[in-house]
Chains A and B, each alone.
Chain A
Amino acid sequence: MSATPTRLAFRQPSVIPGFGLTLGLTLTWLGLIVLLPLSALFIKTSELTFERFIAIVTAARTLHALQVSFGLAFAAALVNVVFGAIVVWVLVRYDFPLKKVVDALIDIPFALPTAVAGIALTALYAENGWIGSLLAPLGIQVSFTPLGILVALVFIGLPFVVRTVQPVLADLDQELEDAAASLGASRTQTLVKVVLPSVWPALLTGFALAFARAVGEYGSVIFIAGNLPGVSEIAPLLIVIRLEEFRYADATAIATVMLLASFVLLLIINRLQRWAELRGSKHA
C-alpha cells in the first residue's frame, strides 16, 4: 500500500474512471439480492431460543434428513471422483471416435434443469424402466430408495469433478512422465508418484464442489427419492415440508444449518482452489 501519511488511499491510484460508481452499485446490488435475504435467515433464527433451535435440529426426523443429505452427497462425490478421474484421463490422453461430442455432453448436468433430470432418472430406474427392469431381477431397487438419491447426486456432480481436473491434466507436462520412465519407473509408479500428486489438489477441489452442490440439491432428487421420512427424505425437502406446514421456525432452523454448512464448504473450496493454483504455477 502506497499510503502517504496525510491521505490514506483506499485503492491504488488509476486514471480509469468509475471506481466509486461501480463499487457502490456492486455492493448495493449484492446487499439487496444476496446479503439482506441471507441475513433475514439469521434474524429469524435468532428469534428462537437456543434450546428450541437445538430441539429442532436434533429431532430424529431432522437429524436423519441431514444425515441422508450429507452422507449421500459424500458418497456421490466419491463416486464422481473415481469415475470422473477415469473420464478425464480418457478424454485428455486417449483418442476415440466422437470424442468432441462426448466432451461437450459432460456439461449436460449443468445445463439440464434439475426437474427434467429428476423425472428422466426416475423413468429410467423405475421397475419398468430401461435400467430398473434390468436390476429388478437381481433384487436391486433404485427408485424410491436412498440408492436413487445417490444416482441423482452422481448425475448432478459429475461435471464439477471433470471440469476441475481436465484443464490441470491437459496442462501437465508429459516430459515429467518421460523423465520418470527413463529413470526406470514403471508406468504405475509414474502415475502414482508423478501424475497423481499434480492432479491431487484439483481432484480434491472437484470433490468439494460436487459435495457442496449435492448437499443442497433438491429438484433432481425429490422425484426419484420416494421421500419416506427417516429413510429417503433429504434436508432441503424437509425445509419445504415444514414451510408448507407453516412451521417457519423449523424450516428456518434447518435452513440455518444448511447455510452454515455451505459457508464452511465455500471456505474450504476457496482454500483448495488457491492450493491447486499454487501447485499449477509451480509445475508450469
Chain B
Amino acid sequence: MSALGESAGPAAERGASEGLPSALAQAHAYAAQHRPVRTEPRAVRIALTLVALAFLTLFIGLPLVAVFYEAFKRGWQAYVAALIEPDALAAIRLTLIVAAISVVANLLFGLVASWCIAKFEFPGKTFLITLIDLPFSVSPVVAGLVYVLLFGSQGLFAAYLQAWDIKIIFALPGIVLATIFVTFPFVARELIPLMQEQGTAEEEAAISLGASGLSTFFRVTLPNVKWALLYGVLLCNARAMGEFGAVSVVSGHVRGLTNTMPLHIEILYNEYQFVASFAVASLLALLALVTLVAKTILEHRLAEEDR
C-alpha cells in the first residue's frame, strides 16, 4: 500500500506542473511559503524530542548498556572465563542445535504455507492465517505447559512414550518442539503478505510456458521473496536462541545437558554469579544487535526492490 502512495505522489505533481493553470501553481507556492502551520512551535518540537529520547534512553538504551557494563565489570579475563567454562559451552552448543532445527523447520513450513495461502483462493483462508498467528499471542509458559501435558510423565501420551522408552520432556525433543511452537509464525508471517502482493501472474506465465511447478517455485517465486525470507529467518533465529519461558517449562534445567543459554543465564544469576550471568547474556545481546543491523540492511533492500 505504501508503494502505491509513493508512486502516486510524483505523478500527481508532474501533472500539476505540466498542464494545470498557473493560479494553482501560485497557490502551491503560497502554501509552500506558509508551511509553519503544518508543525508545532519550536519549543514544543524540542520538548517532545527530548521526552521521546529520554523515554527511549531509560527503557531501551540503559538496559542494553547495562548488559555489557555488568559483563565486563571484572575485566576481560573474568568475561572470557565465564564463556569458556564447560557448562556455558554446553549451553551455547545446545542453543545453536535447537535454533538450527527450529529455523529449518519453520523455514520449510513458511515456504509451504505461504505458497498455499498466497497463490490460491479458497474459503477459510483468513481463519488459517489467524491459526498460524496464534502462537504469537499464547503465553510462552502456556506453550511449554501444553507439551508437558502431551508428553510429560502425567501426559496424554505418557504410556506410549514409556513403552517405547522415548524421552521428550526434560530432553532435546521437548526443547525443540517448544521453540518451534513459539517461533511458528515468524517466517510465514513475512512471506504471506509479500507473496500476496506479488500475485500469481509470473508463476502462471512460467507454467504456461511449460515450466514444472518446482522449477517455477525455485526460479520465479523464490528469487522474488529472498530478502523477506532471509528477514523472517533472522527474526525466527533471534527468538529461537533467546526463548526462555517455554523452554524453561520443558527443559528440566539439567546443567550441561538441557540448559540453553537463557536458562544458563537464569541459573548463574540466581547463584549470584552476576558477571558470568551477564557475560553469557552479552552474547545474546550481541546477537540481538547483529540481528537489528541485518534487519535494517534488509529493509533497505526490500524498499529498493519495491521501487
Contacts and interface: CB of A to CB of B under 8 A. Distances in A.
A119 B269 contact: yes
Contacts of A131: 58, 62
Interface residues of B, number: 103
A226 interface: no
Which of B34, B117, B244 is the most central at the interface, judged by chain A CB atoms within 10 Å of its CB?
B244
Given A167-B2, A223-B269, A111 B292 contact: yes
Interface centre among B62, B177, B241 (most CB of A within 10 A): B62
Contact of B113 (A26, A187, A281): A26
Interface of A: 1, 10-12, 14-19, 22-23, 25-26, 29-30, 33-38, 40-41, 43-44, 83, 86-87, 89-91, 93-94, 96, 100, 102, 104-117, 119-121, 123-124, 129-131, 151, 154-155, 158, 167, 170-171, 174, 177-178, 181-182, 187, 190, 212-213, 215-219, 223, 236-237, 239-240, 243, 246, 248, 251-252, 255, 258-259, 262, 265-266, 269-270, 280-281, 284
A14 B179 CA distance: 36
A258 B146 contact: no
Given A11-B121, A158-B60, A243 B38 contact: no
Given A16-B119, A33-B184, A240-B248, A115 B60 contact: no
Given A87-B55, A243-B249, A258-B139, A33 B60 contact: no
Contact of B150 (A36, A117, A190): A36
B281 A119 contact: yes
Given A93-B39, A124-B62, A236-B142, 18 more contacts: A14-B204, A19-B120, A29-B112, A30-B128, A33-B184, A83-B52, A96-B53, A111-B287, A111-B291, A111-B295, A113-B241, A119-B278, A123-B70, A123-B274, A171-B1, A237-B141, A248-B154, A262-B139
Contacts of B62: 124, 130-131
Given A15-B204, A258-B142, A116 B109 contact: no
A84 to B, nearest CB: 9
A113 B243 contact: yes
A117 B63 contact: yes
Contact of A154 (B39, B59, B113, B145): B59
A236 B245 contact: yes
A105 B52 contact: no
A240 B249 contact: yes
Interface string B258-288: 0001110110010000100110010011011
Interface of B: 1-2, 4-5, 31, 34, 37-40, 45, 48-49, 51-53, 55-56, 58-64, 66-67, 70, 109, 112-113, 115-117, 119-123, 128, 130-135, 137-143, 145-150, 154-156, 177, 180-181, 184, 200, 203-204, 207-208, 213, 216-217, 235, 238, 241-245, 248-249, 261-263, 265-266, 269, 274, 277-278, 281, 284-285, 287-289, 291-293, 295-296
Contacts of B204: 14-16
A108 B60 contact: yes
B137 A212 contact: yes
Given A16-B213, A18-B213, A158-B60, A104 B138 contact: no
A218 B141 contact: yes
The SS class assigned to the A binding surface is: helix
B149 A40 contact: yes
Nearest to B265: A115
A216 B140 contact: yes
Contact of A171 (B5, B285, B295, B296): B5
Contacts of B116: 18-19, 22-23, 25-26
- The list of the 4 closest CB pairs from A to B, nearest first, reads A216-B139, A113-B242, A181-B37, A22-B116
B269 A120 contact: no
Given A43-B156, A158-B59, A112 B150 contact: no
Contacts of A259: 138-139, 142
A86 B52 contact: yes
B141 A116 contact: no
A174 B38 contact: yes
B64 A37 contact: no
B262 A115 contact: yes
